Structure 1
Amino acid sequence: MGESKIVDGGARSTSRGARSIIATADPDRAAVSVGVVAGDRWAAAWATSLQRPSAGFDPNWSEEGFTDQTLRQVLRLSVGGDRLRVRLSNAFGGTPLVVTAATVAVSRGGGAVEPGTVRHLSVDGAPRFAIPVGTEVASDPVAFRSAPLDSIAVTMYLAAPTGRATFHAQALATSYRAAGGHCADSDGGVFTETSQSWYYLSGVDVAGGPARSAGVVVFGDSLTDGTFSTPDANRRFPDMLAERLANTGRPRAVLNHGIGGNRLTVDSAWLGAKATSRFRRDVLSQPGIGTVVILLGINDIGLSEVSETAPLPIFEPYTAVSCDEVIAGHRDLIRQARAAGLRVVAATLSPAKPSPLSTARSEDKRAAINAWIRTCGEYDAIIDLDAALRGPTDPDRLHAAYDSGDHLHPNDTGYRAMAAAIDPAAFD
């Protein structure tokens, strides 16, 4: 059958036979250059960056996959609507992913959902569907009223062996697994196994309700991903930002596209494709966005420093990256964003001393990159996280009140300070 393009509320999909395959690399389905998205158009309300199956920082299920198991995953929407669709990905699978059944419901906490809120998901009208290798599908829309900061649970029954699973390693949210088919169960008692990763989930889009301000993608590494924030508490920096915007009475989608350990210029089997490569899928494919915030570069200049002091296989390759290469990476992202009509905002690199990523050489690079970000004039706005997070007596160290303990990643208070450092006008 020939391939047909369907434009639906600004989101382009491709239909092949019985599958609605999202053309995730197509920027036409995503960026909006206006400040407001009509309520009847699809807008991403939650999203995450996907990674190849790997051992990761913590144990996970990506390498073993799933067989005759139900997977329930909880996430929080940054904006709401009257209708909802779920995007699922088999980007890094080795075989077609067969979803026997899937549902969405209001989360009641843990593995439980609110009785009466369960909605069955389908693709092109079929409750059982397959996702080809390397592709993403969007479910058919379901009537599902939600508000900003609502938590929902997406549940999938995977009867046939899936093989290795596309996933996001550091969810900082508990996912639940049960033997057999339990998609419609409201009681979470059967979900006795847990993981701190998300699997197959790419995004959740909403439509309906009032017009909303164009969304924001925060594109970064572990400081965006939320490393060392409190699990299951939504204390990552983008979560805090979404809360701040919602509390102003002008909620705006804030999408977290951070990957722990990710770099602008270096590919990693464990830590994701380099940012200049994944930008198209993770940013430009998101419906209803108007701004991207870029917080990247500290791993490029720092991970090569740990090759002798604290080597771990997960950080390989230990590629030394120059200031000029980091700046070239930023300029590449600026060009891609501008071509899609996005507003582009940069964040300065925060203090890292005395973490293993910090040496005299990497500190010189960090200072030079921050000076360029502040003075280059190539961004629409600047968020000075370096100034917001530094200590009062040593500007190369995190403020003690914000330090998670590793001198690189903030704690919950530090992530809140990052969100507080942003002027919402930067997104207008």
Structure 2
Amino acid sequence: MSGRIGRGCRVVAALLTAAVCQSLPAQAAALPGPVTRATGVVTWAASADRMSEGAADESYRMIVHTSVGGSGLRVRVTNAFGDRPLTLDSVWAGRRDHGAALRHGSNRRLTFGGARSVTVPPGAVVWSDPLPGTLPPGTDLAVSLHTPHAAGPATGHGMAMQTSYTGRGDHTAEESGADWTGTTGSWWYLDAVSVRPSRAAVRAVAALGDSITDGWHSTTDLNRRWPDYLARRLNTARTDLKGVANEGISGNQVLADGAGQSALHRLDRDVLSLPGVRTVFLFEGVNDIKAHTGVTAAQLVAGYREITRRAHAAGKCVVAATVGPFKGWPDWDPAAETVRRQVNRYLRTTRDVDALADFDRVLRSPYDPERILPFFDDGDHLHPNDKGMQAMADAVDLGRLNCAR
């Protein structure tokens, strides 16, 4: 099984890399500067997935919360799951004041290779040109874009745990929120933001995970996912790791596609292609275990090793987290619990990864270690509440997020 996983992963990785690097239309390709890759450090990111049909003449104002601060802000727009070219004819970025309204004077147009519009081929991503000025850490950034004639499958992130805004027609340049009459709980056509920190040594952590990393059952609009708490810790700590990219997808698995592409299949696009990533934080596996597809601990370990091998080959550190308890969830049974314990035994003893975050020990009840501690349980016996999310982030040894690799 491990050989089949490795070969399949390398094939998909090659296809993804080819898609990311494919040429832009002649109009954009003739303009100066690279547009498919960015320098700097990622300050926000969300995993891309296939969404519902795109809407023509629609504006989206996405609210995203940054981690590391810096200058030269760039955004990455994505058509990774589109089946036709995506044109964005107006893209702006500004600091959010409240709701859909922006701070006066903060909204500025983004360009792509010097052009005000960009056409993104199917399967590709494109970075904007850098904006002048400095963005503080922990900013509510509003990225507004207009799709003049979008159709077919859209690309975005379905479960944002953040309210963003929509409007008919092009309202991207407006600082007022008056014409943003719709709301959405998703991020559309946007999957990363980067900045250039004031110190060249600053780097980022990318959290590769499932719904717990995605923040399910944390409080919407308050940035209480565990990677958010980790970002706040890093911001005040004496460390060169300041950026955090949240690459969680609800329901995601390490081995199998389903709720998004598997961690193996999306690693290159969602993590390794992001600028300034120093550390891959791998916290995933519970969905493979509870899916009742017969996945064994050995197969899941093979998946972890493949992700680790590819991350190390890219010069990244790898921190792995143990799989948390989920007794009481409808899919729990003793066989799944056995696999979970075998996987955690491997993670606690292996030298394959550079460090361990023992989230199982943090979350489990001392009275029944197969269950999440009630104080941290959101009620479904799998997902932590806000307190549980904070406890997970607080348990991460910041000094072990970096490595000598």
Q: What residue in structure 1 maps to residue 356 of structure 2?
A: 382
Q: Which residue of 1 aligns with 2:257?
A: 267
State which drifts further: 363-372 or 137-146: 137-146
Is the CA contact 2:73–2:196 (under 8 Å) kept in the aligned structure 1? Answer: yes
Which residue number in structure 2 is paired with residue 323 of structure 1? Answer: 297
1:66 match: 55
Deviations 1:309-338 (A, max 9, x none): xxxxxxxxxx33111110100010111011
Aligned AA (1:51)? D
1:182-222 Cα deviation digits (max 9, x unpaired): 11111112111111111111100101523343211111111
Correspondence for 2:27 among 15, 18, 36: 18
1:236 counterpart = 2:234: no
Equivalent position of 2:148 in the other structure? 159
2:323 pairs with 1:334 = no
Counterpart of 2:289, as a letter, is: I
Distance 1:409 1:140, change over 3 A: same
Map of 1:296 onto structure 2: 284
What percent identity do the matched residue pairs reach? 39
CA distance in 2, matches of 1:400, 1:100: 49
| 1:191 aligned partner, one-letter code | W
Determine if contact 1:170/1:196 at 8 Å carries over to the other structure.
yes
Query: CA 1:263–1:46 in 2, change beyond 3 Å: closer, same or farther?
Result: same
Alpha-carbon distance in structure 2 between the residues aligned to 1:195 and 1:43? 27
Query: Does the 8 A contact of 1:22 with 1:135 survive in 2?
Result: no
Range 146-155 or range 212-221, more displaced: 212-221
Distance 2:22 2:204 in 1: 20
Gaps of 5+ in 1: 1-10, 30-40, 54-62, 305-318
Paired residue type of 1:282: D
Stretches of structure 2 that go unaligned for 5 or more consecutive residues are 1-19
Q: Using the alignment, how far apart are the partners of 1:23 and 1:155 within structure 2?
A: 20
Displacement after TM superposition at 1:14 (Å): 6.2
- Name 1:48's counterpart in structure 2: 46
CA contact (8 A) 1:242 1:253 kept: yes
Given that residues 373 and 382 in structure 1 are in contact (C-alpha distance below 8 angstroms), is that contact kept between their aligned partners in structure 2? yes
- 2:161 corresponds to which residue? 172
Partner of 2:150, secondary structure, is: coil
Name the amino acid aligned to 2:40: W
Count of residue pairs brought into register by the alignment: 378
User: 2:24·2:119 contact (CA, 8 Å) conserved in 1?
Assistant: no
Distance of aligned partners of 1:321 and 1:23 in 2 relative to their CA distance in 1, 3 Å threshold = farther
SS of equivalent to 1:260: coil
| Cα distance, 1:141–1:23 mapped onto 2, change above 3 Å | closer
> What is the identity, as a one-letter code, of the residue corresponding to 2:262?
K
The answer on whether the counterparts of 2:36 and 2:127 sit within 8 Å (CA) in structure 1 is: no
Contact 1:167 1:201 in 2 (8 A): yes
State the alpha-carbon separation in 2 of the partners of residues 374 and 22 from structure 1.
41
Match of residue 219, structure 1, among 194, 199, 208: 208
Q: Which residue in 2 is equivalent to 1:33?
A: none
Shift of 1:22: 5.2
Residue of structure 2 in register with 1:276 after alignment: 264
Decide whether the 8 Å contact of 2:324 with 2:363 is kept in 1. Answer: yes
Residue number in structure 1 paired with 2:182: 193
**How has the CA–CA distance of structure 1 residues 342 and 208 changed in structure 2, closer, same or farther, with 3 Å as cutoff?**
closer
Task: Give distance in 2, aligned partners of 1:144 and 1:224.
Answer: 31
Partner amino acid, structure 2, of 1:424: L
Deviation at 1:151, TM superposition (A): 1.2
Q: Is 1:416 the counterpart of 2:390 in the alignment?
A: yes
CA separation in 2, counterparts of 1:12 and 1:216?
A: 23
1:82 correspondence with 2:91:
no
Local SS of the residue matching 1:336 = helix
How much has 1:12 moved relative to structure 2?
8.8
Select the residue among 362, 374, 380 that pairs with 2:336: 362
Give the corresponding residue for 2:7.
none
Q: TM-score, normalised by structure 1?
A: 0.85
| Alpha-carbon distance in structure 2 between the residues aligned to 1:13 and 1:413 | 44
Distance 1:18 1:321 in 2: 48
Task: Supply the AA of the counterpart residue of 2:272.
Answer: L
Q: For the residues of structure 2 that align with 1:92 and 1:301, how far apart are their CA atoms?
A: 27
Distance 1:129 1:244 in 2: 37
> 2:82·2:154 contact (CA, 8 Å) conserved in 1?
yes
Partner of 2:116: 127
For the 8 Å contact 2:371–2:381, the answer to whether it is kept is yes
TM-score with structure 2 setting the length: 0.90
* Secondary structure of residue in 2 paired with 1:244: helix
2:169 and 2:25 mapped to 1: Cα distance? 30
Once residues 383 and 364 of structure 2 are traced to their aligned partners in structure 1, the CA distance between those partners, rounded to angstroms, is 12
Question: Equivalents in 2 of 1:351, 1:109: separation in Å?
Answer: 38
CA positional deviation for 1:121: 0.8
TM-fit CA distance, 1:13: 9.4
